[in-house]
Amino acid sequence: MIEGNHDAWMNAFVGENPFLKSDYLFKNAVRLKERKYNYHKNGDFLTIGKLNFYHGNHYATINHARNHLSKLGTNVMYGHHHDIQQASVTHLGGQKSAWSIGCLKDMSKEKNAWLGGRQHNWSHAFAVVDFYDKGLFTVHVVQIVNGKTSLWGELLDGN
């Protein structure tokens, strides 16, 4: 489990209010230890093979995937920005890429009133990552449109 910025806000709230017990810290409140999840703090990276994962709130801009790639210089996947982007660069050492894999949140106007009606470029999506020998991998970003997608030739209808 990779902690995100909203989870970290919960931790900050607990830290600012000493009457709250540590039971309310994110990792304790969602019982990660009991559920046998490994926990990675917001901003920490989980590395599997040659791919790094983290929440994604270190770097921004309209071209945040490119920004992540240029700042980190390594393969990275994240979701913080809620939209789909990929950037790649090839050096003598090989190709590196950054992926922003969208989100699965409710994007209805009612659930996002805090945006004040502002338009966004969020997309429903998830990624399937296949790992191979020597840490190599392939990434398949699967976009969901109006609750439907196809995966491995099969239509998936979430409606």
pLDDT tens across 24-72, in order? 999 999 999 999 999 999 999 999 999 999 999 999 999 999 999 999 9
Write down the pTM of the prediction.
Answer: 0.90
Can you tell me the distance from the alpha carbon of 7 to that of 42, in angstroms, rounded to the nearest whole number?
8
The pLDDT score that the predictor gives to residue 108 is 87
Please give the share of the chain, as a percent, with pLDDT higher than 70.
100
Can you tell me the distance from the alpha carbon of 48 to that of 45, in angstroms, rounded to the nearest whole number?
10
User: What is the tally of helices (H) and strands (E) in the chain?
Assistant: 3, 9
**Average pLDDT in the 14-21 region?**
90
- In 10 A of CB 50, how many CB atoms? 15
Structure tokens at 93: 């050492």
Please give the single-letter amino acid code of residue 66: R
Q: Is 159 exposed, middle or buried (0-12, 13-18, 19+ CB in 10 A)?
A: exposed
The pLDDT score that the predictor gives to residue 118 is 86
DSSP state of 98: E
Task: Using pLDDT thresholds of 50, 70 and 90, give the confidence band for residue 120.
Answer: confident
Structure tokens at 39: 């926990």
Look at residue 117 and tell me whether its pLDDT is greater than 90.
no
Strand (E) positions, the chain?
46-48, 51-53, 76-78, 84-91, 94-101, 124-131, 137-144, 148-151, 154-157
Please give the share of the chain, as a percent, with pLDDT higher than 90.
85
Specify whether the CB–CB gap between 125 and 143 falls below 8 A: yes
Task: Write out pLDDT tens, residues 64-98.
Answer: 999 999 999 999 999 999 999 999 999 888 999 99
Mean pLDDT score of the chain: 94
Q: Which residues make Cβ contacts (< 8 Å) with residue 115, sequence separation at least 6?
A: none
Alpha helices in 17-157 (DSSP H): 26-29, 64-72
Query: What's phi and psi for 10, nearest 5 deg?
Result: -60, -45
